[in-house]
Amino acid sequence: MGGYCGYLANMGGLAAGADAAYIFEEPFDIRDLQSNVEHLTEKMKTSIQRGLVLRNESCSENYTTDFIYQLYSEEGKGVFDCRKNVLGHMQQGGAPSPFDRNFGTKISARAMEWITTKLREAQGKGRKFVNDDSICVLGISKRTLLFQPVAELKKETDFEHRIPKEQWWLKLRPLMKILAKYKASYDVSDSGQLEHVHPSSDHGEPAAI
């Protein structure tokens, strides 16, 4: 349900201990698939006899869910069996939870507070002029609630794929490899750059509730 955004697949895989999560933001090829299959096959020969592979629906036009399922099924013959499950609209969550209602109320209150502040700032000044700061989107950036001008968001957005040009959560990708027993390193610094993995300060208030 995230379109081209691999956030759901990546964070879901990290939370569930997935062996791999294929996403649009990190292109992969047949060599990566081969490496993942071989790694899973070797793992299944140990005491850990389970595996999970996630795929974002739009991660690749040719490496489809069926293709990956058939690849793992063929290469895992005699070692493991595969099952395929497409979650679809189940990801929308159904009825709002108490957390959702509480968070929605706080977001609404923050928005009304911001609108009231802008109206008071313009009160008694005669003609009203709209500027970039008055046209904003309220959302979560990392761990903060942030009012961000649309003019700034335009520069940071990939409109063709409807995703940000820079995804903060991509830095968490190596963690999944580490937890899946791949040979990988994890850089927690802001300047850390992601590297291909082989097997063998925004101001705002905290978003926490």
CATH number for position 54: 3.40.50.460
Strand-pairing partners, residue 206, are: 144
Residue with tokens 């082989």: 198
- Note the maximum CA span of the chain: 79
Instruction: Examine residue 43 and state whether it is found in any structural domain, yes or no.
Output: yes
Alpha-carbon distance of 186 to 177, in angstroms, equals 10
pLDDT: is 173 or 190 the higher one?
173
Whether the per-residue pLDDT at 207 is higher than 80: the answer is no
Asked if the model's pLDDT at residue 6 lies above 50, the reply is yes
Nearest of 168, 208, 171, 205 to residue 188 by alpha carbon: 171
pTM, to two decimals: 0.77
Which pair of structure tokens corresponds to residue 37? 């299959």
Beta bridge partners of 137: 148
CB 45 within 8 A of CB 38: no
Q: What is the mean pLDDT of the chain?
A: 84
In a domain, 18, yes or no: yes
Q: Of 41, 49, 54, which is closest to residue 14 (Cα–Cα)? A: 54
Instruction: Count CB atoms within 10 A of the CB of residue 205.
Output: 10
> What tokens does 152 get?
């700034």
**Residue 34 included in any domain:** yes
Per mean pLDDT, which range of 33-42, 62-71, 128-137, 162-171 is the poorest? Answer: 128-137
| 27 domain residue, yes or no | yes
Expressed in angstroms, the distance from the first to the final Cα of the chain is 25
**Is residue 39 domain-resident?**
yes
User: Residue 57 is inside which H or E element, if any?
Assistant: none
In which domain, by residue range, is 62 found? 6-94+166-180
Which class for 107: exposed (0-12), middle (13-18), buried (19 or more C-beta within 10 A)? middle
Whether residue 144 is contained in a domain is answered as no
Which residue type does 60 have?
S
pLDDT at 119: 82
Residue 180 — pLDDT band, cuts 50, 70, 90?
Answer: confident
Q: What is the count of structural domains for the chain?
A: 1
Q: Is residue 85 part of a domain?
A: yes
Instruction: Please check whether residue 192 lies inside any domain of the structure.
Output: no
pLDDT at residue 159, as a whole number: 93
Helices (H), the chain: 7-16, 30-44, 65-75, 98-122, 150-155, 173-179
> Residue 202 has what pLDDT?
45
Q: Identify the pLDDT of residue 197.
A: 47
Q: Which of 20-34, 88-102, 190-204 has the lowest mean pLDDT?
A: 190-204
Torsion of CA 27, 39, 88, 157, to 10 degrees: -20
